[in-house]
Amino acid sequence: MTMMMHVPGAEALDRSSSLSTLEVFALTQRFDRPTLVIDPAIVARNYAELKAGLGRADIHYAVKANPAREIVAALIALGSHFDAASRGEIELCLSLGARPSTISFGNTVKKAGDIAFAHAAGVRLFAVDAPEELAKIAEHAPGAQVYVRLLVTESQADWPLSRKFGCDRPTALALMAEARALGLDPVGISFHVGSQTRRSGMWAAALDEMAGVWTAARAAGHELSLVNIGGGFPAFYGEAIEAAEDYAASVVGMVEARFPGATRIMAEPGRGLVGNAGVIACEVVLVSRKSATDLNRWVYLDIGKFSGLAETIDEAIRYQFVTPRDGDPVGPCILAGPSCDSADVLYEKRPMMLPATLKAGDKVLIRNAGAYTSSYSSVGFNGFPPLAVVAI
Amino acid sequence: MTMMMHVPGAEALDRSSSLSTLEVFALTQRFDRPTLVIDPAIVARNYAELKAGLGRADIHYAVKANPAREIVAALIALGSHFDAASRGEIELCLSLGARPSTISFGNTVKKAGDIAFAHAAGVRLFAVDAPEELAKIAEHAPGAQVYVRLLVTESQADWPLSRKFGCDRPTALALMAEARALGLDPVGISFHVGSQTRRSGMWAAALDEMAGVWTAARAAGHELSLVNIGGGFPAFYGEAIEAAEDYAASVVGMVEARFPGATRIMAEPGRGLVGNAGVIACEVVLVSRKSATDLNRWVYLDIGKFSGLAETIDEAIRYQFVTPRDGDPVGPCILAGPSCDSADVLYEKRPMMLPATLKAGDKVLIRNAGAYTSSYSSVGFNGFPPLAVVAI
């Protein structure tokens, strides 16, 4: 979608890049604080494209990526299933009409009371990666289906996961046996190749690794039927990614070939469904140099690491910026947030190239910011309000 | 304050450490989610101790450290002044009865509209470190007093500051001249030795560096009268620190000796006033191992990096934990938060020694957690509610 209409103040932007309808809206509206503008229609389009590629696999939207009610409601209407990280996310989905049978409680770290809540609400599918968790599920959700989360060592993602979730193969097989002994139904496995895995080919090594566990478990007598391939579907941040449908079809093809007997395939896209469905409108507060001889300017925005841009930690996600002065000569900038916290610096190791003419008061758009922004925002760090969210 | 009373469930804790009245309260109350319990009486005691040491210096409480209304109200009653990072913090102080003349707008990065708001509200003292900021202040707070924030290169703090704030000496002198030309009143300088500077002696090198700027500015004809020594006053996290009064007296003595003509000294303690005035009550959600041969257990709490423990980023602040199993044999743990975010790991590079018997459901206290916790908490990351705050 490129901008064809004439928008006051948008000419400069249009010189260097075409803007989507969403971006034009965000640019031309006035906001009194940093605001994430989301477009559920883009989420719907992403869903249709992914679904076309995923075929028989169920899409469980990872609600944590963006829990905006408008997005969850749109996905329910499209028939999406959900991956919930907490009781709060389950309540959100149910409050908007999602059927409990479409919700997977995908966090391997759950309070006993929250497991009981989910079970009472009709949720029947739980993730597990440790004996103590299995015992909690057996006690508070008797008879539930469980899938075992596995560690992936072969990740090639931009935002690779730590060893925080998942267990190794021997532990997984022991958990399946123990689940059966506890009266639970161990239906399959799950894994996550890492967030923002840019090319479908990058999945092959991880899928080979997981297929080895699948085969071993079935050889040990566990009648597995479910493969949960997690997320990892990329959003566009400037580096080339494959078309969503092709990407998904390629991944599912690899899964079909590696997991015999998998009658149920789950995918948990988050970023891939909502990343490009949101744009943040913010503002330059100050441009300065620390000394006359500094090579880099410092550019301070009214949004930072603690007010929505948490994924800039370690400069992991590199957002794209649109400014009213795009097209002017550029120079390197250290980009920082507005708070008095010295850690609230977005890009310093690899400075951002921005127009040399940029100045306080300039409105800036942060593109493709629909995932992992609004809900990460602090309640009131340094007295700044949380990131506002507006749906068009 | 040590615990003398008999508290059900607290015996195990008492074996290894004495608990304050605040900690006993936090331990014996039931909370339905992670909760920061604060004691304004401890803040008042800290204030009195610091004030005794600081002598004629004004204490400007750094509101960002903990903006709880009970704390700000207690400090107003004691005659404290305030260092505000934002319009929101100014509004908070004013709403509780603080006089505008006691408020310094200490963030060097301010929106024009927020400067205008502060000026209209009667705030007359502003921080500055760049020409563009000076121009905004001259336009929106004509005639205001400004102090120039300087870069400190000689920090020895635990939580050292980046180059985000401050300018070098030539830039500072140019700003003072420019301020005068714009009709502003350049009254002095400010700097920050870094948060959590454990011993007063660690200030000497930074103070020498700043005194050089002071002398140069006065030699250039700027009649400076204000030295703002910022924060840096430490809170206790387990490593030995000096008594607050001695520490403060030592620092002020060093300032008096180095800044001739400084008729007004400001200090901006945050952590030092509130760090030990809060304790977080939370809970173990899961204890697991990734494989049978793992040396480290993983311990997952119901609070993490995105729900109040942001200062564990890069493992900078190392909290102390109290568990009901203290006294049992300990072993190394990787400590993590409850969210599905793989970056939500608190201590991994340097694992935490915790009882081997720790298990899901155990209540845990995080000691000295009064500073930089509640307001950093996210609005609803992964569907988890923000850190609750209760005052006793």
Q: Which residue of B has its CA nearest to A160?
A: B342
Which pLDDT band, with edges at 50, 70 and 90, does A160 fall under?
low
Express each pLDDT in B316-352 by its tens digit: 889 999 999 999 999 999 999 999 988 899 999 999 9
pLDDT in tens, A188-235: 999 988 766 788 888 999 999 999 999 999 999 999 999 999 987 777
- B202-223 tens-digit pLDDT: 899 999 999 999 999 999 999 9
- Residue-wise pLDDT for A299-321, tens only, equals 999 999 999 999 998 888 899 99
A383 vs B348: CB contact, 8 Å cut-off? no
B156 and B303 share one domain: no
My answer on whether B169 and B30 are in the same domain is no
Q: Are B370 and B74 a contacting pair, CB within 8 Å?
A: no
For residues B309 and B263, state if they share a domain. no
Residues of B belonging to the active site: 340
B179 and B102 housed in the same domain: yes
Smallest CA–CA separation between B139 and chain A, in Å?
13
> What is the interface size between A and B, counted as CB pairs within 8 Å?
219
SS3 (DSSP) at A320: coil
Q: How close is the nearest chain A Cα to the Cα of B318, in Å?
A: 16
Does residue A196 belong to any structural domain of this protein?
A: yes
Q: What tens digit of pLDDT does each residue of B219-256 get? A: 999 999 999 999 877 776 767 677 888 999 999 999 99
Last residue of a domain, one of B223, B239, B274: B274
Subunit contact B291:A170, Cβ cutoff 8 A: yes
pLDDT band for position A157 (cuts 50, 70, 90) = low
Q: Tell me A124's DSSP state.
A: -
Contacts of residue B167 in chain A, CB cutoff 8 Å? 288-291
- Residues B216, B357 within the same domain: no
Whether B59 has a pLDDT exceeding 80, the answer reads yes
Residue A255: exposed, middle, or buried by beta-carbon count in 10 A (0-12, 13-18, 19+)? Answer: buried
Per residue in B180-199, pLDDT (tens digit) is 999 999 999 999 887 667 88
Task: Say how many domains are in chain A.
Answer: 2
In a domain, B107, yes or no: yes
Of residues B192 and A96, more confidently modeled: A96
Q: Domain check: are A175 and A67 in the same one?
A: yes
Q: What is the pLDDT of residue B194?
A: 76
* Residue A296 domain-assigned (yes or no): yes
Q: Which of A253, A274, A295 is the last residue of a domain?
A: A274
**Do B137 and B230 sit in the same domain of this protein?**
yes
Cβ–Cβ below 8 Å for A302 and B89: no
pLDDT at A12 over 60: no
Q: Does residue A4 form part of some domain? A: no
pTM: 0.92
Q: Which residue has the higher pLDDT, A223 or B162?
A: A223
Residues from chain A contacting residue B232 (CB–CB below 8 Å)? none
Nearest to B85 among A133, A342, A382 (CB): A382
pLDDT of B3 reads: 33
Q: What is the CATH number of the domain that holds B253?
A: 3.20.20.10
Quick check: A263 pLDDT over 80? yes
Q: Residue A161's pLDDT is what?
A: 61
Quick one: DSSP state of residue B313?
G
Taking the C-alpha atoms of residue A271 and residue B8, their distance in angstroms, rounded to an integer, is: 47
For residue B290, name the pLDDT band (cuts at 50, 70, 90): confident
Q: In A, which residues are within 8 Å of B130 by CB distance?
A: 286-289
Range of the domain at A302: 11-38+275-391
**B162: in domain:** yes
Out of B253, B274, B295, pick the residue that ends a domain: B274
Q: Are residues A260 and A346 in the same domain?
A: no
* Domain-located, residue A188: yes
- Region for A137 from its dihedrals, namely left if φ exceeds 0, alpha if ψ lies in -120 to 50, beta otherwise: alpha
State whether B289 and B387 are in the same domain.
Answer: yes
pLDDT score, position A2:
31
How far apart, in whole angstroms, are the C-alpha atoms of residue B219 and residue B42? 44
Tell me the nearest-neighbour CA distance from A8 into chain B, angstroms: 23
Residue A6 is assigned to a structural domain of this protein: no
In this complex, the residue of A163, A313, A375 whose CB is nearest that of residue B381 is A375
Q: In terms of domains, do B186 and B106 share one?
A: yes
Task: Looking at the structure, tell me whether residues B73 and B218 fall in a common domain.
Answer: yes
Asked if residue A1 is part of any domain, the answer here is no
The one-character DSSP state at A95 is H
Residue B340 is part of a domain; what is its CATH number?
Answer: 2.40.37.10
Same domain, A49 and A129: yes
Three-state DSSP state, A81: strand
Across the interface, which of A91, A110, A342 has its CB nearest the CB of B161? A342
> Which of B338, B344, B379 minimises the CB distance to A379?
B379
> Strand runs (DSSP E) across chain B, as ranges?
35-38, 58-62, 81-84, 103-105, 125-128, 145-149, 185-190, 226-228, 264-267, 278-288, 297-301, 321-322, 330-336, 345-355, 363-366, 388-391
